[in-house]
Amino acid sequence: MMSELRKVTLSDGELFVRDQGQGETILFVHGFPLDHSMWDAQVNALSSSYRCLAVDLRGFGRSTVTSGTVTMEQMADDLAAMLDGLNITQPVTLCGLSMGGYVAWQFWKRHSSRLAALILCDTRAIADTEEGAKQRLETADRVEAEGSGFLAEAMLPKLYAETTYHARPEMIEDARRVILATAPSGIAAAARGMAQRPDVTSWLPEIDVPALLITGEQDAISPAAEMAAIAQAMPRGTHAIIPTAGHMAPQEQPDAVNAALRAFLLNLK
Ligand code: MLT
């Protein structure tokens, strides 16, 4: 089912956001190159107790596309401006997956007074290697030149666990549709932004909000051992590994992920 999105006007564009439920705010931030809909199972389950915001980042979904480079810092600032636009002044729980996690680190750095807690799904604290960054820049140029079809085919098998990939063709098809519908220049700008993101490992001991880290056991992009080390470096970090899931654990195993989120959120009260 398509959910209705709300439009929030920023100083230089618009962000679209699914805004559902009442109570303390959880802000869900999607991975690359997807959109808010990857969080549908979380919003559907948690909006009975929380105000759930699932945003389309700049360049994704229906939100404003800015070509060139869009940094993780800019995306974090967009989120703060969106909260202003929605008159949300209370600190929020930010739940980001992968690129959404890269944005979450920057949100902590730049807007920490607005942050009550962090949920980091399938993400990394380190920067790209030189080779990794070079590949991203090549990908960005290629997406602009020929569209996102090749990227969808290259990424989909990496995003999902092999079991999901074969057993849930409709989930893979939905993700493919989202990627193909995304503006190539938005994808390219975010890829360039990720290529220049900093290594935030040295920040981790200072991030003292309650933090839940979640990894799909078979995540090929942000391995569980790496996320366990991030959780250990954060003063209030805990780590949950989700069986039979890859990088897209919240979509692949929504019940297990939602149970982990609920337990964490209840503990915050
Ligand atoms: C994502 O899911 O956001 C991407 O896999 C992040 C990345 O490519 O580093």
CA atoms within a 13 Å half-sphere pointing along the CA-CB vector of 192: 18
Gap from CA of 227 to ligand 1 centroid (Å): 14
Report yes or no on 146 lying in a domain.
Answer: yes
pLDDT of residue 170: 97
| Ligand 1 residue neighbourhood (C-beta within 6 Å) | 31-32, 98-99, 194, 221, 247
- Stretch 57-66: mean pLDDT: 98
pLDDT band of residue 1 (cuts 50, 70, 90) is very low
- Stretch 98-108: mean pLDDT: 98
Q: What is the mean pLDDT of the chain?
A: 97
CA dist 230 and 126 (Å) reads: 10
pLDDT of residue 4: 84
Report yes or no on 75 lying in a domain.
Answer: yes
Q: Flag whether pLDDT at 3 surpasses 80.
A: no
Q: Flag whether pLDDT at 203 surpasses 60.
A: yes
Report yes or no on 114 lying in a domain.
Answer: yes
Q: Flag whether pLDDT at 15 surpasses 90.
A: yes
Please choose from 194, 199, 227, 251 the residue to mutate so as to test ligand 1's pocket, defined by most ligand atoms within 8 A of CB: 194
Report yes or no on 1 lying in a domain.
Answer: no
The count of domains in the chain is 1
Report yes or no on 138 lying in a domain.
Answer: yes
- Give the domain extent around 203: 6-268
Q: Flag whether pLDDT at 2 surpasses 70.
A: no
Q: What's the CATH code of the domain at 108?
A: 3.40.50.1820
What's the whole-model pTM score?
0.98
Percent over 70 (pLDDT), the chain: 99
- Stretch 82-106: mean pLDDT: 98
